[in-house]
Amino acid sequence: MDPEFELLGDEPARLASRGDADPEVLDARPAESWRPPGWVTTVVVLALVVGAVAWYADERARVHESEALGACRRELHNAAISSDLLMVAVASSIRPSMDATTGSRRAAVVDLMSRPARRLLPDVVSADRLCRAVSVRPWHRSLRARRDAATAYSAALTAKLREVAADGRAYYDDDPSLRRLRRAADLGVFGGRY
């Protein structure tokens, strides 16, 4: 007998039909992984590209808005410091003499206040216009708040200097609302409480 051949027993065996038994592991095909339809993939890729382009454009706009706001705030700060230096110096020097004067001398003191205000007014108006020209998108809330605070202060400072320039009796003195607006605009203060 040949060792390669093996004899089966004498018992009859029935071969299983294909429908009766589970297929062997080797006969089973691997399950196909789910793949989205082509149009879904295209839509997802397109949405990602559009989102990235929109984010980049918004970031560039934010940088531009921030630079414009920075220029406005520098211009406004310079105008405010100039007005502090000149107007507070004039106000401090004429305050005692204004209390003691009457008549024609009082008119000269009033003129002393209105002349520097007229000289400062163009710089303050220019800073006010520059700040009002800054355009900020509505969803850039922090930039919008800073821009709004700067324009509120620039408008109040412009109104105050116009008032003093028109009539020197409108004394350039400590103004709580102007001081509050300046603090809200986060502009540096020179010369104390003004």
pLDDT digits (tens, 9 = 90+) for 149-161: 999 999 999 998 8
Residue 20, pLDDT > 60, answer no
What share of the chain in percent tops pLDDT 90?
A: 36
CB 144 within 8 A of CB 151: no
Indicate the domain borders of the chain.
Answer: 42-184
Q: What is the pLDDT of residue 130?
A: 93
Q: Mean pLDDT over all residues of the chain?
A: 79
pTM for the whole structure: 0.67
CB 90 within 8 A of CB 112: yes
pLDDT digits (tens, 9 = 90+) for 76-134: 999 888 888 887 777 677 655 555 555 555 566 667 778 888 888 999 999 999 999 99
Q: Burial letters for 140-158: b for 16+ Cβ neighbours within 10 Å, e otherwise?
A: beebbebbebbbbbbebbb
CB 23 within 8 A of CB 16: no
State mean pLDDT over 9-25: 59
CB 134 within 8 A of CB 69: yes
AA letter at 123: D
Spatial separation of the C-alpha atoms in residues 189 and 25, rounded to whole Å: 84
AA letter at 157: L
- For the ranges 124-128, 171-175, 183-187, the lowest mean pLDDT is seen at 171-175
With H, G, I as helix, E, B as strand and everything else as coil, classify residue 3. coil
